[in-house]
Amino acid sequence: MKSAEIGLMGLGTMGAALALNIADHGFDVAVWNRTTQKTRDFHNDAGGLQDKVHPSESVEDFVAAIAKPRAIILMVPAGDPVDEQIAALRPLLDADDLIIDAGNANFHDTNRRARDAADLPYLGMGVSGGEEGARFGPSIMGGGKRAHWDRVAHILEAISAKYDGAPCATWMGEEGAGHFVKAVHNGIEYADMQMIAEAYGVMRDGLSMSPAQISLAFADWDKGALDSYLTEISGKVAAAVDPKTGKPMLDVIVDAAGQKGTGRWTVIEAQHLAAPIPAIDAAVVARNLSSQRDVRALGEALFGAAPQPMDGITLADLEGALIAGKIICYAQGFEMINKA
């Protein structure tokens, strides 16, 4: 059997999408998942890419299926599972085999793992774009030794998103630099989403607009300077109807937001760096407030929840505020990266 050019462990949503993306770009990829049936199902469902996907049912067979010097992408949950997987892999690998942690890791953990690896090849890699991005073109942020990045750059650049023909994949610096940039990127995204949510709130409560009218406003903004995935999807979500109740989906969804931690890490690190990022900070605070539904219900019982009309505000005003806010939160995020 032909040896795979790269391996991928962990066939969850992101791992499966990334493996198919690698195969779709002509690279042979070895795959393994802790649950054997998931590995089998993934290969069976790979369609025309089956010949490029090499499934293994044991870690030993998986390692043997990859051409030397090996490169293995870990797509396992952040935290202890990464350390456990690295510990299980290392005895099976040669000294020049490369491990790439592509999970949503805290960059401090990546720094530690890089130091623990010493001279053994190791990269921390931020991957952005969700499932669709992983499948058809993610943004990739690498951290570690430049020579280790260069070994796999041809694959990572090929599978990444492109902007004006340039790959959205590059080396960000030593150790956890890639995961650090990914965290700040997520923090910027938190702020972007919070501002969109606040614009929705102004339209709903201040301007008494219906979800259908709000949907049209977002769709119109998406044709101009606010053209982006988040603006586009906000318009579609505002137009969505809950099939069970027939009500607008936004009126049915519970108004409590969770978080995986990257936005929080960004705010914590900004304090250490003395880098002011108030837009991102406010967005993380808003998420934390949203999760305290019992407290908010008590407040509503005391003070009511009557909408406050906002006379004199126009949709053009809101669009301008969103454009300004987007510029501000990006500027704050980039300045924090410069500080670091």
This prediction's pTM:
0.91
What pLDDT is stored for residue 311 in this prediction? 86
The range of the structural domain enclosing residue 272 comes to: 183-339
Q: How confident is the model at residue 305 (pLDDT cuts 50, 70, 90)?
A: confident
Task: Report residue 263: phi and psi, to 5°.
Answer: -65, -40
Residues 148 and 209 in one domain: no
Residues 115 and 166 in one domain: yes
**113 domain residue, yes or no:** yes
CATH number, domain with residue 171:
3.40.50.720
**62 domain residue, yes or no:** yes
What pLDDT is stored for residue 258 in this prediction? 79
Residues 330 and 213 in one domain: yes
> Has residue 276 got a pLDDT over 80?
yes
CA distances from 97 to 70, 152, 185, 194 (A): 5, 12, 29, 42
Token reading at 149: 């990045």
Beta-strand relationship, 71-74 and 98-101: parallel
**Secondary structure letter of residue 205 according to DSSP:** I
Which position has the higher pLDDT, 306 or 59? Answer: 59
Residues 156 and 303 in one domain: no
Task: Report residue 309: phi and psi, to 5°.
Answer: -60, 140
Which position has the higher pLDDT, 303 or 259? Answer: 303
Which helix (H) or strand (E) is 133 found in, with range?
A: helix 130-136
Mean pLDDT of 198-214: 94
What pLDDT is stored for residue 1 in this prediction? 60
Mean pLDDT of 181-193: 95
Share of the chain above pLDDT 90, in %: 89
What pLDDT is stored for residue 51 in this prediction? 93
Mean pLDDT of 19-35: 96
Which position has the higher pLDDT, 310 or 318? Answer: 318
Q: Which of 5, 175, 189, 269 is catalytic?
A: 189
Q: Which amino acid is at 99?
A: I
Which helix (H) or strand (E) is 171 found in, with range?
A: strand 169-173
Q: Which of 182, 269, 319, 326 is catalytic?
A: 182
Q: Please give the mean pLDDT across all residues of the chain.
A: 94
Q: Is 182 a catalytic residue?
A: yes
What pLDDT is stored for residue 235 in this prediction? 96
Domain count, the chain: 2
Q: Is 269 a catalytic residue?
A: no
> Has residue 223 got a pLDDT over 90?
yes
Residues 6 or more apart whose Cβ sits within 8 Å of residue 160: 137, 138, 139, 140, 167, 168, 169
CB of 131 within 8 A of CB of 121?
no
CA distances from 43 to 20, 37, 39, 64 (A): 10, 10, 6, 18
